[in-house]
Amino acid sequence: MSDLVGQLADLTALRDRPSLDMALATTLNDLLPCRQITITRCVGPENNQHWLTTSEVKEGVEHVADTHNWTDLDDLPQLDQYPVRQQVLSQRHPTLAPTPTDPHVFPLFSADNSAAVLELYCSHTLSAEQVRLVDGILRLYLNFCNLLD
């Protein structure tokens, strides 16, 4: 428990969104046995939005995303290529993986209504306690993001 409190304190010491996203992914990776954790944001004008991966932890190792803020918008995947992500954002409610190969997907909304998703690729179904843990950490993360914004 003290590790969790320390990780959350470290998270709130950060002052930029990319570092904050990576800290969220690594914190969740330390707490949950997942193969991969990814944060992907909606970017672009409302009529031409795409997915930009901002943070990724695979097999416990932080990876620099293949996509960056300077990537041409049209080189990024379009929103409709990931219907589960779209569903989670429209419902504003997480979707738990129906199979071990699918991700658990959680919505992330900032005060300015910018949208992102957190995907947890685990080899098991999350327990109710684990879902509450993720939800609580995401609420702290989003509250902090809103303060920064």
pLDDT tens digits for 109-124? 987 778 999 999 998 8
The pLDDT-based confidence of 11 (bands split at 50, 70, 90) is low
- With a cut of 80, say whether residue 45 has pLDDT above it: yes
Look up residue 125 and give its DSSP letter: P
| 3-state secondary structure (DSSP) of residue 113 | coil
Cα–Cα separations (whole angstroms), residue 143 to 12, 28, 68, 123, 137: 10, 17, 25, 29, 10
Task: Say how far apart CA 131 and CA 104 lie, in whole Å.
Answer: 10
- With a cut of 90, say whether residue 65 has pLDDT above it: no
Q: Count CB neighbours of 68 within 10 A.
A: 11
- With a cut of 70, say whether residue 64 has pLDDT above it: no
Contact between 59 and 40 (Cβ < 8 Å)? no
Task: Say how far apart CA 61 and CA 65 lie, in whole Å.
Answer: 12
The structure tokens 């989670």 sit at 88
Share of the chain above pLDDT 90, in %: 42
pLDDT tens digits for 70-97? 678 888 999 999 999 999 999 999 999 9
Share of the chain above pLDDT 70, in %: 83
Task: Say how far apart CA 127 and CA 117 lie, in whole Å.
Answer: 20
Contact between 26 and 141 (Cβ < 8 Å)? no
What pLDDT does 98 receive? 85
| 3-state secondary structure (DSSP) of residue 39 | strand
Task: Say how far apart CA 10 and CA 79 lie, in whole Å.
Answer: 32
Q: In what order do the strands lie in the sheet with 34-43?
A: 61-63, 50-58, 34-43, 115-122, 104-109
What are the structural domains, with CATH classification, of the chain?
A: 2-148 (3.30.450.40)
